[in-house]
Structure 1
């Protein structure tokens, strides 16, 4: 069955979308008729290949290199998106955000690492939100989606992930605040919190992981499509009554309790 192009004529900026969950989100939005800006820092080849795939849906697409953690780069990202796609940004998906795999306590982490995690996971999305909200207000339509981690809304401690968790939990509060402040402007703001979706599964469809066993979740591993489908729903014009929500897409997996029970 052919998908309804419910987002035809809309323009989305998906940060960190050359690979992984951002890539699947970009594909999902383009399939619904949305023009998409692909943001990357180092993965230029992947970004350009994705742009070609997006254009095959009959939409406009462009790749923009920018580090969302850098203030000047974030502003350029918005300006270039609007110039290349000849449109204001209707949908902002704040997917990009650094994560340090090495496990260490907060007191043992170098200061520049702490600053990098906060800049990329909190201040970067905050800046982008501020840059796109005025245009969304003028058009009377906007969708902002932040990324968290599973159970972010509970604001529990996450040992060895202190700065990352603190930034994401702060983003929970911002999500709820903006949802209230911008409700009258036709702008919704929500957060999606993926579970432990690993490796290549971030770019797989549900059918590709169905049947695989995963004892940590509800029967099967998570896929990129699981997350992208939720984002597409939140971006739908008919989802204007859904705002200020923190949506776990985890298959029941709890990343904190699992490791520290």
Structure 2
């Protein structure tokens, strides 16, 4: 939904995928019919070498040799509830690399081009209420990576503001399954008992906020942690067992 929203604004689009090749290629074809260019590149953001390959290939494909808008939203998540001691070491490394280190590395590789053009937009992804840094039992690794990303987002925003680059974090609510690819109109009649708003969130809810933050006129906004949750709080107060 975000890719389509930006394409409708006239942006050429580079799509990144790991396993969903068919979906990525299909979306690229759809975007191309909107009158802009689109391509899909496979890379695992948790792998340092593949991050470099993704950045290089994307910049080579770009008309200008740079990336102006980076939606840095990739990130592994384990939905099964576990205590920290129950994680395997390789899972800890993967979650931290995919949700924090990979994000930082991709930002780092694309910053020079944005600075060169004195313009850029960077969007990170967190979770609802990530900015508060609260305890999240059974999500220790993921939460640590994302709350670390909160500080990095704010710091990078301050450092890059003189270069015309803004940086934000979008924190979606519990938007699951097909709703990630639906419009607001398509979910407006559904009922979500866990949402204070009463309806589930949709991909369009997220895409609209991102599109606004990427506008040239949104340059006075930077360093924000934006909850797009419908009031939902994903961090339940629980007693670990």
CA–CA separation in structure 2 for the residues paired with 1:226 and 1:185: 29
1:46 aligns with 2:23: yes
Which residue of structure 2 aligns with residue 184 of structure 1?
162
1:141 aligns with 2:122: no
> Which residue among 204, 213, 226 is the counterpart of 1:225?
204
Which residue of structure 2 aligns with residue 237 of structure 1?
216
> Which residue among 29, 40, 44 is the counterpart of 1:63?
40
Instruction: Note the alpha carbon deviations across 1:169-215, whole angstroms, 9 max, x for none.
Output: 00000000001000100000000000000111000000000021112
1:157 aligns with 2:141: no
Which residue of structure 2 aligns with residue 256 of structure 1?
235
CA–CA separation in structure 1 for the residues paired with 2:154 and 2:27: 32
Which residue of structure 1 aligns with residue 62 of structure 2?
85
CA–CA separation in structure 2 for the residues paired with 1:67 and 1:86: 24
The RMSD of aligned alpha carbons is: 1.0
Is the contact made by 1:61 and 1:85 (CA closer than 8 Å) also made in structure 2?
no
Is the contact made by 1:62 and 1:85 (CA closer than 8 Å) also made in structure 2?
no
1:100 aligns with 2:73: no
Q: 1:54 offset after TM fit, Å? A: 0.7
Query: Which residues of structure 1 form unaligned runs of 5+?
Result: 1-23
- Structure 2-normalised TM-score? 0.96
Detail structure 1 runs of 4+ shifted over 4 Å in the superposition.
none
CA–CA separation in structure 1 for the residues paired with 2:159 and 2:188: 40
User: Secondary structure, in 3 states, of the residue corresponding to 2:178?
Assistant: helix
Query: Which residues of structure 2 form unaligned runs of 5+?
Result: none
User: Secondary structure, in 3 states, of the residue corresponding to 1:62?
Assistant: strand
Q: 1:102 offset after TM fit, Å? A: 1.5
User: Secondary structure, in 3 states, of the residue corresponding to 1:48?
Assistant: helix
Is the contact made by 1:39 and 1:63 (CA closer than 8 Å) also made in structure 2?
yes
1:202 aligns with 2:195: no
CA–CA separation in structure 1 for the residues paired with 2:203 and 2:80: 24
User: Secondary structure, in 3 states, of the residue corresponding to 1:114?
Assistant: helix
- Structure 1-normalised TM-score? 0.89
Instruction: Note the alpha carbon deviations across 1:83-124, whole angstroms, 9 max, x for none.
Output: 223331000111110001211100111110000000000000
